Structure 1
Amino acid sequence: MSDRSRNGDDLNRQSTEEDLIRLQATTLLYYLHESNPANGLIRDKTNPSASWT
Protein backbone atom coordinates (compact mmCIF):
# COMPACT_ATOMS: atom_id res chain seq x y z
CA MET A 1 0.00 0.00 0.00
CA SER A 2 1.35 3.43 -0.88
CA ASP A 3 1.68 6.36 1.50
CA ARG A 4 -0.99 8.20 -0.54
CA SER A 5 -3.59 5.53 0.24
CA ARG A 6 -2.74 5.45 3.94
CA ASN A 7 -3.08 9.17 4.55
CA GLY A 8 -6.27 9.69 2.52
CA ASP A 9 -4.77 11.80 -0.28
CA ASP A 10 -6.05 9.26 -2.79
CA LEU A 11 -9.63 10.12 -1.83
CA ASN A 12 -9.10 13.81 -2.62
CA ARG A 13 -7.49 13.46 -6.04
CA GLN A 14 -9.22 14.25 -9.33
CA SER A 15 -10.84 11.22 -10.98
CA THR A 16 -9.12 10.01 -14.12
CA GLU A 17 -10.76 8.75 -17.30
CA GLU A 18 -9.70 5.24 -16.25
CA ASP A 19 -11.45 5.66 -12.88
CA LEU A 20 -14.68 6.74 -14.57
CA ILE A 21 -14.58 3.87 -17.08
CA ARG A 22 -14.02 1.39 -14.24
CA LEU A 23 -16.96 2.89 -12.31
CA GLN A 24 -19.23 2.63 -15.36
CA ALA A 25 -18.23 -0.98 -15.99
CA THR A 26 -18.66 -2.12 -12.39
CA THR A 27 -22.03 -0.35 -12.17
CA LEU A 28 -23.27 -2.09 -15.30
CA LEU A 29 -22.02 -5.46 -14.06
CA TYR A 30 -23.80 -4.92 -10.73
CA TYR A 31 -27.13 -4.32 -12.47
CA LEU A 32 -26.66 -7.27 -14.81
CA HIS A 33 -25.77 -9.57 -11.92
CA GLU A 34 -28.43 -8.37 -9.46
CA SER A 35 -31.42 -8.14 -11.81
CA ASN A 36 -34.25 -10.63 -11.51
CA PRO A 37 -35.15 -11.89 -14.99
CA ALA A 38 -38.62 -13.00 -13.83
CA ASN A 39 -39.82 -9.53 -12.81
CA GLY A 40 -37.08 -7.06 -13.85
CA LEU A 41 -36.44 -5.87 -10.30
CA ILE A 42 -32.92 -4.98 -9.17
CA ARG A 43 -31.72 -5.81 -5.65
CA ASP A 44 -30.77 -2.72 -3.73
CA LYS A 45 -28.78 -4.87 -1.29
CA THR A 46 -26.28 -7.58 -2.06
CA ASN A 47 -26.83 -9.22 1.30
CA PRO A 48 -27.58 -12.91 0.58
CA SER A 49 -30.64 -12.80 2.83
CA ALA A 50 -32.19 -9.87 0.90
CA SER A 51 -35.45 -10.80 -0.81
CA TRP A 52 -36.07 -10.68 -4.59
CA THR A 53 -39.67 -9.57 -4.07
Structure 2
Amino acid sequence: WHVAEGDRLERGERYGIIKLGSRMDHFLPANVEITVRPGDHVTAGVSELGVLS
Protein backbone atom coordinates (compact mmCIF):
# COMPACT_ATOMS: atom_id res chain seq x y z
CA TRP A 1 0.00 0.00 0.00
CA HIS A 2 1.88 3.02 -1.19
CA VAL A 3 0.50 6.43 -0.39
CA ALA A 4 2.14 9.54 -1.78
CA GLU A 5 1.97 13.04 -0.36
CA GLY A 6 -1.28 14.67 -1.44
CA ASP A 7 -3.19 11.40 -1.97
CA ARG A 8 -6.75 11.40 -0.57
CA LEU A 9 -7.69 8.51 1.69
CA GLU A 10 -11.19 7.40 2.56
CA ARG A 11 -12.37 5.99 5.88
CA GLY A 12 -11.34 2.35 6.20
CA GLU A 13 -8.86 2.49 3.33
CA ARG A 14 -5.62 0.59 3.98
CA TYR A 15 -2.44 2.63 3.76
CA GLY A 16 0.07 0.92 6.00
CA ILE A 17 0.91 -2.15 7.98
CA ILE A 18 2.48 -2.61 11.39
CA LYS A 19 5.12 -5.32 11.60
CA LEU A 20 6.92 -6.41 14.76
CA GLY A 21 5.55 -3.57 16.85
CA SER A 22 2.53 -1.51 17.63
CA ARG A 23 3.46 2.02 16.61
CA MET A 24 2.12 3.85 13.60
CA ASP A 25 3.07 7.46 12.86
CA HIS A 26 0.40 9.65 11.28
CA PHE A 27 1.19 12.95 9.60
CA LEU A 28 -1.91 15.14 9.37
CA PRO A 29 -2.38 18.63 7.89
CA ALA A 30 -2.01 21.59 10.27
CA ASN A 31 -5.74 22.38 9.95
CA VAL A 32 -6.80 19.07 11.56
CA GLU A 33 -8.18 19.23 15.10
CA ILE A 34 -7.00 16.03 16.79
CA THR A 35 -9.81 14.17 18.59
CA VAL A 36 -7.77 11.40 20.24
CA ARG A 37 -5.23 11.54 23.05
CA PRO A 38 -2.14 9.49 23.85
CA GLY A 39 -3.24 6.21 25.39
CA ASP A 40 -6.64 6.12 23.65
CA HIS A 41 -7.52 2.83 22.00
CA VAL A 42 -8.39 3.22 18.32
CA THR A 43 -9.66 0.78 15.72
CA ALA A 44 -8.62 0.93 12.06
CA GLY A 45 -11.46 2.08 9.83
CA VAL A 46 -13.68 2.95 12.80
CA SER A 47 -12.00 5.49 15.09
CA GLU A 48 -11.85 9.14 14.13
CA LEU A 49 -8.39 10.65 14.69
CA GLY A 50 -9.29 14.24 13.87
CA VAL A 51 -11.55 16.65 12.02
CA LEU A 52 -10.70 19.28 9.43
CA SER A 53 -11.17 22.73 10.92
Larger relative contact order, structure 1 or 2 (CA cutoff 8 Å, min sep 6): 2
- Structure that is richer in strand per residue: 2
TM-score when scaled to structure 1?
0.21
TM-score when scaled to structure 2?
0.21
Tell which structure's C-alpha radius of gyration is larger.
Answer: 1
